[in-house]
Structure 1
Amino acid sequence: MSSRPPLTEVILVQAPARLRALVRGSEIGLVLLAALVGCGGGVAVAALIHLTQAMREALYGLSPGMRLSAATGLSPAAVLLAPAFGGVLLACLALLLRWRRRPRRAIIDPIEANALHGGRMSVRDSSLLTLQNVISNGSGVSVGMEAAYTQFCAGLASRLGLSFELRRADQRTLVGCGAAAAIAAAFGAPLTGAFYAFELIIGTYSIATLTPVAVAALCGSVVARALVGQTALVTLDRADAVTTTVLTTADTVPGLVLGLICAGLGILIMRGVTLVEAGFRASRLPALLAPTVGGLCVGALALAVSPQVLSGGHGALHLHLEAHGTGLALPALILLFVAKATASAISIGSGFRGGLFFASLFLGAIAGEIFAAGMPLVLPGMVAFGLTPLAYAVIGMSALAVAVIGGPLTMTFLALELTGSFPITGLVLVAVIASSLTVRKTFGYSFATWRFHLRGESIRSAHDVGWIRSLTVGRLMRREVPTAALDQTLSAFLRKHPLGSPSRVVMVDEAGRYAGIVLVPEAHAALREAEEGEPGLGELLRHPQDVLTADMNAKVATAIFDRTESEALAVVDDLQSRRVIGLLTESHTLKRYSEELDRQRRAVLGEAG
């Protein structure tokens, strides 16, 4: 089944023709559209924040505005059963969709949409995922809401772009604007939102995308701040961050080590989610019951360790990033890290919807505290370094988040916008580079692209590769192909194909199957040079085993041309029947491939098509 939404859903409402022309023909029009997306994203994020908070307050009896992961005195029954109740709600939603006979299909997220589908997303699917994420986060399981924010806002941006019939590059940019507005609104950090779009959603930074993405991020942040009372996660001044007057080169060493440690922890967390999913599948537990069981496990962990393992962890992270921290001892910090990582893996692995964005921030902060507390025990001399545990928490937060989510500059700007400390941001940059490089070279995936890999997709980022998949052999091949029977004599063949006729003839056997290619000039030369009798056509066949199929893309076809050293290859319907349906030349393939590469280059540079 095709992953694209039906046309009736994609273009539900068309913008007026003159307005479409204004947006398509003017960069200012695209910027205005991005501002609209940003404002809408800010409203959407604010609404989702209020909705999930209201659900947690109702289930756990929280006072208004109280964050679940920072709450104390919670009812043990609520802590144990509320996450399982979320699993029951997800099961009821799944049954409702089955009853309405909604077709099951993979929901396309913004990264996949921009990588493969030119920014085309389904608003219906995005709304469904958002509802599932609201139920999951609102019931208290250990998932964040950032996946819902970006999915919903990017889905709305995609629908808006399709209604204006934007060009492929502009459509992808507008999807990035939706994601930028979502992240900027969630954290009150426009730079973070903009670079989240550049690094993770659009896949590249260019002058052409700078203005619309930045405008969307700023609008989303401003609108959300007006609608939601956001408190800073950390208020960090130089006295809180460092104990020495000047940060030296030696101060980067522990940050670098912490970045490498966080890279390993991030890989373990991503692997852990996969192992939990495999465990639930191996248990043969009905899929509808898995979230309920997972919710019970998360509730039990919260009862046994701390309510800080619940929900996304906003309140708990605020506690850990306060100037004086939580005061937890090293064993308690290690236990909390293990419990939170396990709760996140169970939540996602059992079927709850959500992401690891905020969980990775919280886990990274704990890892930084553990690192600061453990350094004097491992290397007593390292206590002389000028950073406080709070600074290590900020560095660890960014380093572990970049290992799981990706986006080194995104996490660096997040640290800068949260702390306002340039010295700490410099150390964060060192740590995130070390973490990102280590994960990329040893594991090769972020959490999102790792999920694509498990589904069989080969994409590693949001960089646009969809055009390569659409540039198929079936689109490029010539369908009028001269064929001839292999069982005829060479003389009969040459009478039908004199010099000056098409230089290549595709040969087929008595069953109509592809047998090879005969070059007409070579066949004439073979007859002239024959000393006794005439050779058979079978002796002149080239590439009897080398064929293309219509569904191959141009990149794969080019690799086959290089391997076979052939100037042309036959195209068959499939490798079993081998019925000839066309012929493709290497020169035409390279020409079209080069044209598309040049078009992509111009789009990145913002040049006219």
Structure 2
Amino acid sequence: MTGLLDHMRTHATPPRFLAALRALVRTDSLWLIALAAITGILAGCVVSAMTATTLLAHQLLAPGAGRLSGLKAIDPVRALLVPTLGGLLLGGVGALLARNRRFTPIDPVEANALHGGRMSLRDSLLVALQTVLSNGCGASLGLEAGFSQLGAAFGSRIGRQLRMHRADVRLLVGCGAAGAIGAAFDAPLAGAFYAFELIIGTYTLSALAPIALAAIAALGVVHATGMVTPSVLVSTPVRIPAVAYVPIAGLGIVAAFVGIALMRAVTLTEQAMRTLPLPEWLKPALGGLLVGLLALISPSVLSSGHMAMQMGLISTPPLLLAAGLLGLKALASAISIGSGFRGGLFFASLYLGVLTGAVFAGVLAPIMALPVSVCSVVGMCALAVAVIGGPMTMIFLALETTGSLPLTSAVMVSAILSSMTVRRTFGYSFATWRFHLRGENIRSGVDVGWMRSLTVARMMRTEVPTLPATATVATARDTYPGATPRYIILRDAHRRYVGLIENTQLHARHYADTTPVTALVQTGDETLSPDTSLSCALDSFERTTRPALAVTNENGMVLGLLSERYVLRRYAEELERTRRELAGEKHKH
């Protein structure tokens, strides 16, 4: 797969061909849809290859078995040895990559939010390999992070190779993720809305055809290769009584708090791992050993938990067993991520949701008889919404998995309440929570990168009127007798910033001629740095209530002047440009 795109990057691909293809894509949306289909096919190949590789690696833990989480028992020696050695190998690879400053993987959400869809195919391939190694040795994580990472990276590479517009590159990144998730779950609608809700950040009619086609194309590939996810047979009710929606709503709220607890547990585990007097490369091995010990209690904690989730939907465990498995799986997932394994919580959250629903049904049984299968599906989707985000994604996943409209309606209620509860009490999904811990304020894939790239240095006016800070009002009036300029910057003998005054103040009659100009500087005056972003500049104007601010470097030397009016105008222009892109309107050349 990488060879195809590496070939496009070489001189063997005629520049005229790329230029002609680029012109076609920019003038006719049908060519963009064709590129979306190619991206989906590549994403389907990614899912098939990674799934086949991990199933092969699982033979080290359980020879002759299929998916690990469906095992009834496991050899104790293999359970302890394979995850530990896998963690040791992963730690060694991580140590080598840490020496390479070029390895800075950017996930699809961050790429679309901050970098205009720019992703490194090389880094994404390494992340996918790390994910395969983690899942293959039994770490309690899913492959979906690697699926979407590499699928989206192919879309990004195609878009950048053709020098497409920023909005089109972001769309192809979404196509890659849609294809990966749709193929992984055998659910193209869920994959499409995963892209809309999490990767692109919004739904637009113009993006529907490319996203949908990419998801369907990827699904066709996994069906053709035989790597499709085994189907789930769930007993669904003909109808759900209206009174049952009350506990279903309660289950959505409960699942939200379980999801929050899981995300907090991951953070606490990472903090605990940092305090251990062990080198970083050895910590995944310790995590693998701990996961192996938990697998001795129940092999369902191994890998993504997909087969265990299916078994839980078909034959729901009783209350106490479900509660025990819930705690074991949550602990194993937290240890896996906290110790340095690569992977996602999408698959794991589905299994945890099934167990949460089983526990809820068992507790509710003395009060109200609600089918356990209903609680399991509702809990599965509600917990996934809490951890991953994207309520529409999970609503369509429920519909495609069960084919039941009444059950999908129940899932819709719980998913919405779960999403609202997490937003009000926690404020983040798992992905955005990780961004928050790194200091990034990203809530979705909505494009906010232009706000960071539009810095004060790019907006300020460099030719500014100045006065010595030792001057008097009379001298200033003689120097600037008219109504212009509006703002004057005061500098000391070393040309450093002292303050900013307005011309209207200077010509006010209540100031005597002998008054020093420094007396006109308002209290609370501050300056902007040239690398300050547009959003931070707006915050400064709002905080100081000043119509203009000076721009200085770290030594206090004056570089320019920026007015709030100009910043607001540029902000409005960029918002309008973004709105046009989201609406699918033609780009202006």
Cα distance between partner residues in 1 of 2:417 and 2:7: 44
Residue identity matched to 1:300:
L
- Whole-angstrom CA distance in 2 between matches of 1:97 and 1:553: 31
* Aligned residue number for residue 435 of structure 1: 418
Distance 1:318 1:503 in 2: 70
Which residue of structure 1 aligns with residue 236 of structure 2?
A: 241
Aligned to 1:603: 581
9-18 or 436-445, which deviates more: 9-18
User: Which secondary structure does the structure 1 equivalent of 2:340 belong to?
Assistant: coil
* Pair 1:389–1:522, CA change in 2 (3 A): closer
Residue in 2 that maps onto 1:287: 280
Distance in structure 2 (CA, Å) of the matches to 1:499 and 1:329:
85
C-alpha change, 1:69 and 1:509, in structure 2 (3 Å) is same
Residue identity in the other structure for 2:304 = G
Amino acid at match of 1:511: H
Q: Which residue of 1 aligns with 2:3?
A: none
Aligned partner of residue 289 in structure 1, secondary structure: helix
AA in 2 matched with 1:517: L
CA distances 1:539-591 after superposition (whole Å, capped 9, x unpaired): 223467222221222233233323433332211113xx321100112221111
Q: Tell me the distance in 2 between the aligned counterparts of 1:19 and 1:104.
A: 30
* TM-score, reference length from structure 2: 0.94
> Which residue identity does 2:75 align to in structure 1?
S
Name the structure 2 match of 1:316.
Answer: 308
8 Å contact from structure 1 (residues 516, 544) kept in 2: no
Q: Counterpart in 2 of 1:446? A: 429
Aligned residue in 2 for 1:572 = 552
Counting only pairs closer than 5 Å after superposition, residues 12-23 of structure 1 correspond to structure 2 as 16-23=18-25
Structure 2 residue matching 1:570: 3-state secondary structure: strand
Instruction: Report the counterpart of residue 258 of structure 1 in structure 2.
Output: 251
Match of 1:3 in 2: none
SS at match of 1:583: strand
Q: How far apart are 1:300 and its partner, in Å?
A: 0.3
Are 2:410 and 1:408 equivalent residues in the alignment? Answer: no
Aligned residue among 152, 162, 168 for 2:166: 168
1:281-335 CA-to-partner distances (Å, cap 9, x unmatched) read 01132111100000000000110x210110001211121122xx05x33222111
TM-score normalised by length of structure 1: 0.91
8 Å Cα contact 1:233-1:321 kept in structure 2: no
CA shift for structure 1 position 247: 2.3
From 442, 457, 460, the equivalent of 1:477 is 460
Pick one of 40, 46, 60 that aligns with 1:38. Answer: 40
The residue type paired with residue 588 of structure 1 is Y
**Quick one: distance in 2 between partners of 1:366 and 1:519?**
66
Alignment of 1:182-261 (within 5 A): 182-236=180-234, 240-242=235-237, 246-261=239-254
Q: In the TM superposition, what are the counterparts of 1:135-154 in structure 2 within 5 Å? A: 135-154=133-152
Tell me the distance in 2 between the aligned counterparts of 1:403 and 1:141.
22
- 1:442-521 equivalence runs, <5 A: 442-499=425-482, 501-521=484-504
Aligned partners of 1:408, 1:246: CA distance in 2, in Å? Answer: 22
Paired amino acid for 1:290 = K
Task: Provide structure 2 residue ranges, at least 5 long, that are not aligned to the other structure.
Answer: 1-5
Which one-letter code corresponds to 2:71 in the other structure?
A: A
Distance 1:207 1:488 in 2: 62
Q: 585-594 or 70-79: which moved more?
A: 70-79
SS of the residue corresponding to residue 368 of structure 2 reads helix
- Report the CA distance between 1:111 and its aligned residue: 0.3
Q: In structure 2, how many angstroms separate the alpha carbons of the residues matched to 1:471 and 1:354?
A: 34
Which one is further off, 206-215 or 583-592? 583-592
Between the aligned partners of 2:536 and 2:578, the Cα distance in structure 1 is 19
Q: 1:363 to 1:522 in 2, by over 3 A?
A: closer
* Matched position secondary structure for 1:241: coil
State the distance in 1 between where 2:400 and 2:449 align: 34
How well do the aligned residues superpose, as a CA RMSD in angstroms?
2.0
Specify the alignment match of 1:5 in structure 2: none
Any conservation in 1 of the 2:185–2:229 contact (CA below 8 Å)?
Answer: no
Aligned length: 578
Distance 2:207 2:547 in 1: 40
Q: 1:46 to 1:511 in 2, by over 3 A?
A: same
| 2:538–2:564 Cα contact (<8 Å) kept | yes
514 and 543 in structure 1: CA distance in 2 versus 1, 3 angstrom threshold: farther
2:74 equivalent to 1:82: no
Q: Structure 1's 543 and 509: CA in aligned 2 closer, same or farther, altered over 3 A?
A: farther
Q: 1:514 to 1:105 in 2, by over 3 A?
A: farther
The equivalent of 1:591 in structure 2 is 569
Of the three residues 273, 282, 307, the one matched with 2:299 is 307
Query: Once the 2 structures are TM-superposed, how far is the Cα of residue 525 of structure 1 from its aligned partner?
Result: 4.1
CA distance in 1 between counterparts of 2:300 and 2:441 reads 36
Q: Distance in 2 between matches of 1:476 and 1:215?
A: 41
Q: Which amino acid aligns with 1:382?
A: M
Instruction: Work out which of the residue numbers 101, 110, 113 in structure 2 matches 1:112.
Output: 110
What percentage of residue pairs aligned between the two structures are identical?
48
* Secondary structure, counterpart of 2:435 in structure 1: helix
Contact 2:236 2:407 in 1 (8 A): yes
| 1:111-134 residue CA offsets vs partner (Å, 9 max, x unmatched) | 000000010001111011111111
* Equivalent residues of 1:11, 1:162 under 8 A apart: no
Give the secondary structure class of the aligned counterpart of 1:516: strand
Taking the aligned partners of 1:455 and 1:9, their CA distance within structure 2 comes to 36
User: Compared with structure 1, are the counterparts of its residues 507 and 225 closer, same or farther at alpha carbon in structure 2 (3 Å cutoff)?
Assistant: same
The answer to whether the 8 A contact 1:130-1:152 is kept is yes
**1:272 maps to 2:265:** yes
For 2:361 and 2:40, locate their aligned partners in 1 and report how far apart those are by CA, in whole Å. 39
Matched residue of 2:501: which SS? Answer: strand
> Are the equivalent residues in 2 in contact too, given 1:554–1:589 (CA < 8 A)?
yes
Task: Kindly indicate whether the alpha-carbon contact (under 8 Å) linking 1:498 and 1:520 is maintained by their aligned counterparts in 2.
Answer: no
How far residue 233 of structure 1 moved from its aligned partner, in angstroms, is 3.9
Give, in whole Å, the separation in 2 of the partners of 1:84 and 1:42. 31
**Bigger CA drift: 287-296 or 277-286?**
277-286
C-alpha separation between the residues in 2 aligned to 1:105 and 1:206? 33
- 1:174 and 1:442 mapped to 2: Cα distance? 33
Q: Look up the match of 1:552.
A: 532
CA spacing shift, 1:544–1:578, aligned 2, 3 Å = farther
Match of 2:348 among 349, 359, 366: 359
Taking the aligned partners of 2:123 and 2:354, their CA distance within structure 1 comes to 33
Cα distance, 1:277 vs structure 2: 0.4
User: Structure 2 CA distance, aligned partners of 1:392 and 1:36?
Assistant: 39
28, 49, 52: which one pairs with 1:50?
Answer: 52
